A and B are shown apart, each in its own frame.
Chain A
Amino acid sequence: DSGVTQTPKHLITATGQRVTLRCSPRSGDLSVYWYQQSLDQGLQFLIQYYNGEERAKGNILERFSAQQFPDLHSELNLSSLELGDSALYFCASSLGGSGRSGELFFGEGSRLTVL
Chain B
Amino acid sequence: AQSVAQPEDQVNVAEGNPLTVKCTYSVSGNPYLFWYVQYPNRGLQFLLKYITGDNLVKGSYGFEAEFNKSQTSFHLKKPSALVSDSALYFCAVSLRSNDYKLSFGAGTTVTVRA
Chain B, 41-73, contact with A by CB distance < 8 Å: what is the 0/1 string? 111111001010000000000000000000000
Binding-face segment, B11-19, B20-28, B74-82, B98-106: B98-106
Q: Does A97 contact B (CB under 8 A)?
A: yes
Q: Give chain A interface residues in 60-77, CB to chain B under 8 Å.
A: none
Residue of B nearest to A106 (CB): B43
A78 at the interface (CB under 8 A from B): no
Instruction: Give min CB distance, A92 to chain B, whole Å.
Output: 7
Residues of A82-107 contacting chain B, CB below 8 A:
90, 92, 96-100, 102-107
The minimal Cβ–Cβ distance linking A89 to chain B, given in whole angstroms, is 11
Interface residues of B in 78-102 (CB under 8 A from A): 90, 92, 94, 96, 98-102
Count contacts on A: residues with CB < 8 A to the other chain: 28
The answer to whether B100 touches A56, judged by C-beta atoms less than 8 angstroms apart, is yes
Instruction: Report the count of interface residues on B (CB-CB < 8 A).
Output: 25
Task: List the 10 shortest-distance A-B pairs measured between CB atoms, nearest first.
Answer: A99-B99, A106-B43, A97-B99, A103-B46, A56-B101, A55-B100, A56-B100, A43-B104, A106-B44, A99-B32
Binding site for B on A (CB under 8 A): 2, 4, 31, 33, 35, 42-43, 45, 48, 50, 55-56, 58, 90, 92, 96-100, 102-109
Residues of B at the A interface (CB closer than 8 Å) are 32, 34, 36, 41-46, 49, 51, 90, 92, 94, 96, 98-107
Given A43-B106, A45-B103, A58-B101, 14 other A-B residues pairs in contact with their CB atoms under 8 A? A2-B45, A42-B107, A43-B44, A43-B107, A55-B101, A97-B99, A98-B92, A98-B99, A98-B100, A99-B99, A103-B49, A104-B46, A104-B102, A106-B45
